Amino acid sequence: MNTFGRYLKITTFGESHGPMMGAVLDGLPANLPIDPAVITAELARRRPAGDAVSTSRIEPDEFQIVSGLCDGKTSGAPLTILIPNVAQNSEEYKDVADIFRPGHGDFGWYHKYGTMPGPGGGRLSGRETVARVAAGAIVKAILKRQGINIYGYTKQIGPICAAEREKEFIEQNPYRLPDRAAAREAEKLIADLRAAGDTIGGQVVIVAENVPAGWGSPVFGKLDATIGKAMFSIGAVKGVLFGEGLSFATMRGSESNDQLGPAGPLTNHAGGTNGGLSNGAPIVVTLVVKAPPSIALTQKTVNTKGEPCAITIKGRHDCCLCPRIIPVAEAMLALTLFDAFLERKLA
């Protein structure tokens, strides 16, 4: 379905080439001041930077809040944000309307609904995430006022790994790498891939600082589980890892346990949760991001009649999704944490 969250619910709607995208946020407490500028800022962070790494379809994202605000504060009513689509170009998709694009959801959509998802991927398009970012911006700002700081960075783009963690540099380069040398390498890599008509995967890290201990729930509502669901609901995310991630496979209990002091965990191998509940250390989650499946190279595929054919995808596409996935993942983490904050009130 198109709704996420249990106490704070976000419902999104709209298709890539339809008139608008939208989000309804239901469950925000009343009387919280909302500054629309935070939405503008987060949408700007999600927008393609005009560089080679991202798509050249650039939407102005001039949103409108049409409900839920009263004198600049939440009213208790559902808060709705509409974001018109203006830069769509369905012409680009005409030739491939009946052909499944490898690596895309078209094939599954067709087997479920019996039709193709529409131009630009319809509801399957990454454009859908604009609504999440807009709604998440509000929630991220509310959490910020509670002292919770959410941010993300690119850890790896293909063979290039960030060795440094220069936090200030993250938002100063189109890759959101926290490492100047890695960013220079990335520029070259992306240029080569653009020339080759190919794309590349990577990893991003999302962090939430100052989450109090005791958020989450012990069994099916583990904080890891709800965050995991949130992150896997973002297209192209093929792996979610907490704390030490894959290293846990080779660590002994004596190495992976975070011993405790009066102020909480003395280390943060776990990435901020134990037994599904936050432990007061930063939530650290790593996403494995696959390469964008829309490539200019010719690929084998079939059409809706099951006939084999070849496909060469034109359109305007991202070369690596890492930088643009970061604001989306931050938004999803904010929505998930606020849900846990509300659930905590009921314990």
Residues 114-143 that bind a second copy (CB under 8 A): 114-115, 117-118, 121-124, 128
What count of Cα atoms within 13 Å lies in the side-chain half-sphere of residue 241?
Answer: 18
Q: Which of 40, 75, 149, 210 binds a second copy (CB under 8 A)?
A: 75
Is 111 near a second copy (CB under 8 A)? yes
Here's the x/- map for a second copy, 15-34, by CB under 8 A: it reads as: x--xxx-x-x-xx-xxx---
Is 163 near a second copy (CB under 8 A)? no
Q: Which of 171, 222, 282, 316 binds a second copy (CB under 8 A)?
A: 222
How many residues does the structure list for the chain?
A: 347
Q: Which of 41, 49, 58, 342 binds a second copy (CB under 8 A)?
A: 342
Nearer Cβ to a second copy, position 41 or 225?
225
CB of 166 to a second copy, least distance (A): 21
Residue 92 and residue 57 in contact, taking contact as beta carbons nearer than 8 Å: no
Is 251 near a second copy (CB under 8 A)? yes
Is 36 near a second copy (CB under 8 A)? no
Which of the stretches 7-15, 47-55, 87-95, 137-145 binds a second copy when contact is defined by CB under 8 A? 7-15
User: What is the rounded CA–CA span in Å between residue 273 and residue 225?
Assistant: 11
Question: Exposed, middle or buried, 338 (CB in 10 Å: 0-12/13-18/19+)?
Answer: buried
Is 290 near a second copy (CB under 8 A)? yes
Nearer Cβ to a second copy, position 145 or 259?
259
Residue 54 and residue 174 in contact, taking contact as beta carbons nearer than 8 Å: yes
Q: Which of 50, 246, 312, 314 binds a second copy (CB under 8 A)?
A: 246
Long-range contacts of 216-220 (CB under 8 A, 24+ apart): 216/273, 216/276, 216/277, 216/278, 216/340, 217/276, 217/277, 217/340, 217/343, 218/275, 218/276, 218/277, 219/276
Is 323 near a second copy (CB under 8 A)? no
Residue 17 and residue 122 in contact, taking contact as beta carbons nearer than 8 Å: yes
Is 7 near a second copy (CB under 8 A)? yes
User: What is the rounded CA–CA span in Å between residue 318 and residue 316?
Assistant: 7
Is 112 near a second copy (CB under 8 A)? yes
According to CB under 8 A, which residues from 42 to 61 bind a second copy?
A: none
Q: Which of 51, 144, 258, 282 binds a second copy (CB under 8 A)?
A: 258
Nearest Cα to Cα of residue 245 among 212, 272, 216, 277: 272
Is 256 near a second copy (CB under 8 A)? yes
Pairing label, strands 237-242, 299-302: unpaired
Backbone angles phi, psi at 33, to 5 degrees: -65, 135
Is 153 near a second copy (CB under 8 A)? no
Is 94 near a second copy (CB under 8 A)? no
Q: Which of 149, 299, 304, 316 binds a second copy (CB under 8 A)?
A: 299
User: What is the rounded CA–CA span in Å between residue 236 and residue 126?
Assistant: 9
